[in-house]
Amino acid sequence: MAELKTKIKQNTQEQSVEKSPIIQEEKEVVFQSKNFNLWYGDNHALQDINLTFHENDINAIIGPSGCGKSTFVKSLNRMTELVPIVRTEGDIDFRGDDIFKSGMSVEELRTRVGMVFQKPNPFPKSIYDNVAYGPRVHGIKKKAVLDQIVEKSLRSASIWDEVKDRLTDNAYGLSGGQQQRICIARALAVEPEVILMDEPTSALDPISTTKIEDLMQELKKDYSIIIVTHNMQQAARVSDRTSFFYQGYVVESDDTNVIFENPSDKRTEDYVSGRFG
Amino acid sequence: MSNKNIRDQIINNTRNKSNIFERMIPVILLLITSVSILATIGILVTLLSESFEFFSRVPITEFLTSATWQPYVGDGEWGIWALIMGTLKIVAIAVIFAVPIGLGAAIYLSEYASDRVRRIIKPILEVLAGIPTVVYGFFAINFVNPILQGIYSGFGLYNAVSAGIVVGIMIIPMIASLSEDAMSSVPTAMREGSLGMGATRLETAIRVVIPAAFSGIVASFVLAISRAIGETMIVSIAAGSMPNASFDVTEPLQTMTGFIVQITSGDAAFGTDLYYSLFAVGMMLFIMTLLMNVIASWFTKRFKEEY
Ligand SMILES: Nc1ncnc2c1ncn2[C@@H]1O[C@H](COP(=O)(O)OP(=O)(O)OP(=O)(O)O)[C@@H](O)[C@H]1O
Ligand SMILES: [Mg+2]
């Protein structure tokens, strides 16, 4: 616990160095949910969610199992629609536009809002074809351009050096941590504006986890990141803002250091200090 | 005390278990397995020995190079190409007709249809696969052929197209059902990966699901084509019995199976050239099916995406 506190302190200091209040105010809103509700059949899985996410922030979403974290994150790029029994109410705005309005193309939304899943899910194709997948789907055919995108994305996902000599190998031949970074590279290849990550490191060893956390710090310069995590240290280490979900509600959403050091709700305090969940 | 008793009892039972029986099991299972292998070997040996007899009477060069099959004229002319072409025409038309429809149905069922629709359609497909082929044969003559003749009057009563289309209809359920099985077993996570990148359902099906299910899909084609090659009743009824090696699909033809069934149901006296020719044609059928399996397995190895 003491260790966690020091870490958070360091984190806070870094943050105060990094961003002055003025920059904070200029940050543009990326996602805003307004009284968002979601049902799986009769199961009211998300209830009146009001949350705002800003550009260049890492937003952590924490909460006990089954509280609706994944459901919420998947709502942001409308992946929840793939479940036939899902019904929603309320709005989610992406850069000011309601993602559920009829004119909104779900393909465009999912291109601009990338996703990395809990379990690495590369395609059973070569490493190259995995990363080139998105650009190809979206009409980029020139080999030279694709080569460039693949290299850039793999570099951004800090896995280029490990795979540059075997780009034609099947991605399934890689380790779990490498596969997950391939999946991140794949998501980056279409240059999304937001990256959703649903427990991206839960299947990984500590070293791969550290790599991905470092990577997130790099990525936040260009992207907004929303990450679901069960790992309190991880939330405290990497995120700027944290939202605590509990039984389908948002109990509290604030700067990460506030959530971890000075939460206003007893349940948040209990949860982040490991007393339940 | 009672615990100890149970333990002793169990230990005793373990010791008393007949080891001989256990050791017999693999032998028994092997014997059971051998039945099908032995049957195959038996068929092959018969085919081979009777074919040898045939080739001692008719030069194998004539058999393999001539394109005229006239068993009744004079000493007979035994050019297998006339029959192979008949079979190939039927198979080609059937495949052209059945593969797009079967694969389309599989894509629909695995990627678009709701669980409810799938639960209704799949059993129907399986029932379709069980219709006796003689019924399909009459369907070709009485339903498909009149439509064809309405479109183009050059079609005869017996022709390759109506028989080929109906053989195609016969194999559609097999392709659809088996391909659907293969596609449905592709993990949802892979689809999510693709949809999550902004790909449409169709793009996901074509670029991710089909490649991942490729070996299963090819297997369904192989089975379906094997059935088309071996199909007898439909072609006997609807394709006529005129062996020829032409590419004209409006004319009657005869397939290898059609010839075999014609001769066996007629009067091929034992020991005649005609009698032995049955085995040579049967051998050819066997080789064709085998060849196709070899090609398909090479094809899957080459293009399969492993996960
Ligand atoms: N596909 C689905 N069909 C029906 N109900 C679902 C489905 N997915 C999730 N749910 C339900 O919605 C609620 C929220 O689930 P969700 O997966 O969002 O939780 P979570 O916070 O991500 O949990 P975890 O930490 O275990 O991943 C749960 O009650 C769950 O049973
Ligand atoms: Mg979850």
Q: Over the stretch A133-175, which tens digit does the pLDDT of each residue have?
A: 999 999 999 999 999 999 999 998 889 999 999 999 999 999 9
If asked whether residues B94 and B36 sit together in one domain, one would say no
pLDDT above 70 covers what percent of chain A?
A: 90
Maximum Cα–Cα distance across chain B: 95
Residue B212 to residues A128, B103, B109: CA-CA distances in angstroms? 16, 14, 17
Chain B closest-CA separation from residue A195 CA (Å)? 11
Per-residue pLDDT, B304: 74
pLDDT digits (tens, 9 = 90+) for B103-145: 999 999 999 999 899 999 989 988 888 899 999 999 999 999 9
CA-based nearest residue in chain B for residue A123: B190
| Structural domain count, chain B | 2
3-state secondary structure chain B: CHHHHHHHHHHHHHHHCCHHHHHHHHHHHHHHHHHHHHHHHHHHHHHHHHHHHHHHHCCHHHHHHCCCEECCCCCCEECCHHHHHHHHHHHHHHHHHHHHHHHHHHHHHHHHCCHHHHHHHHHHHHHHHCCCHHHHHHHHHHHHHHHHHHHCCCCCCCCHHHHHHHHHHHHHHHHHHHHHHHHHCCCHHHHHHHHCCCCCHHHHHHHHHHHHCHHHHHHHHHHHHHHHHHCCHHHHHHCCCCCCCCCCCCCCCCCHHHHHHHHHHCCCCCCCHHHHHHHHHHHHHHHHHHHHHHHHHHHHHHHCCCC
- Which structural domain range is residue A194 located in? 2-7+32-272
Which two three-digit tokens encode residue A27?
């940050």
Mean per-residue pLDDT, B75-100? 94
If asked whether residues B52 and B96 sit together in one domain, one would say no
If asked whether residues B203 and B234 sit together in one domain, one would say yes
CB–CB contact A79 B192 (8 Å): yes
pLDDT digits (tens, 9 = 90+) for A187-207: 999 999 999 999 998 877 888
In a domain, A25, yes or no: no
Q: Is A94 on the interface with B (CB under 8 A)?
A: no
Chain B closest-CA separation from residue A180 CA (Å)? 12
In a domain, B259, yes or no: yes
Whole-number Å distance, alpha carbon A46 to ligand 1 midpoint, is 10
If asked whether residues B239 and B292 sit together in one domain, one would say yes
In a domain, B18, yes or no: yes
- Supply the pTM of this predicted model: 0.83
pLDDT above 70 covers what percent of chain B?
A: 99
In a domain, B65, yes or no: no
List, as ranges, residues 117-176 from A with C-beta within 8 Å of B. Answer: 117, 119, 121-125, 133-134, 136-138, 170, 172
In a domain, A199, yes or no: yes
Contact (CB, 8 A) for A75 and A44: no
In a domain, B67, yes or no: no
Q: Is A193 on the interface with B (CB under 8 A)?
A: no
If asked whether residues B12 and B125 sit together in one domain, one would say no
Per-residue pLDDT, A15: 43
If asked whether residues B174 and B32 sit together in one domain, one would say no
CB–CB contact B305 A125 (8 Å): yes
Q: At B82, which CATH number?
A: 1.10.3720.10
In a domain, A17, yes or no: no
Q: What value of ipTM does the predicted structure carry?
A: 0.85
pLDDT digits (tens, 9 = 90+) for B287-297: 999 999 898 88
Chain A closest-CA separation from residue B200 CA (Å)? 7
In a domain, B50, yes or no: yes
pLDDT bin (cut points 50, 70, 90) of residue A277 is low
If asked whether residues B176 and B28 sit together in one domain, one would say no
Per-residue pLDDT, A204: 78
Residues of B whose CB is below 8 A from A124: 190, 211-212, 305-307
Q: Is the pLDDT of residue A5 over 50?
A: no
pLDDT bin (cut points 50, 70, 90) of residue B13 is confident
If asked whether residues B17 and B120 sit together in one domain, one would say no
Q: At A78, which CATH number?
A: 3.40.50.300
pLDDT digits (tens, 9 = 90+) for B71-85: 888 788 899 999 999
In a domain, A15, yes or no: no
Q: Is the pLDDT of residue A8 over 50?
A: no
Q: Is A108 on the interface with B (CB under 8 A)?
A: yes
Ligand that comes closest to the CA of residue A62: 1
pLDDT bin (cut points 50, 70, 90) of residue A276 is low
| Ligand 1, atom 1, residue with closest C-alpha | A83
pLDDT digits (tens, 9 = 90+) for B247-268: 999 999 999 999 999 988 877 7
If asked whether residues B6 and B132 sit together in one domain, one would say no
Whole-number Å distance, alpha carbon A247 to ligand 1 midpoint, is 10
Which among B41, B43, B42, B54 is positioned nearest to B280, based on CA atoms?
B54
Give the orientation angle of helix A143-156 with respect to helix A127-137, to 10 degrees: 110
If asked whether residues B294 and B196 sit together in one domain, one would say yes
Per-residue pLDDT, B56: 94
Q: Is A245 on the interface with B (CB under 8 A)?
A: no
Chain A closest-CA separation from residue B189 CA (Å)? 6
| Structural domain count, chain A | 1
If asked whether residues B115 and B261 sit together in one domain, one would say yes
CB–CB contact A114 B211 (8 Å): no
Q: Is the pLDDT of residue A21 over 50?
A: no
- Which structural domain range is residue B6 located in? 2-57
Residues of B whose CB is below 8 A from A123: 190, 193-194, 208, 212, 305
Q: Which residue would you say has higher pLDDT here, B72 or B30? A: B30
pLDDT digits (tens, 9 = 90+) for B130-186: 899 999 999 999 999 999 999 999 898 999 999 999 999 999 999 999 999 999 999
Per-residue pLDDT, A2: 45
Q: Which residue would you say has higher pLDDT here, A20 or A159? A: A159
Contact (CB, 8 A) for B193 and A179: no
A43 CB under 6 A from ligand 1? yes
Per-residue pLDDT, B74: 79
Q: Is the pLDDT of residue A22 over 50?
A: no
Cβ-based contacts under 8 A for chains A and B: 75
Per-residue pLDDT, B302: 79
A121 → closest Cβ in B189, B199, B305: B189
In a domain, B68, yes or no: no
Point out which residues pair with A37 in neighbouring strands.
Answer: A89
In a domain, A18, yes or no: no
In a domain, A97, yes or no: yes
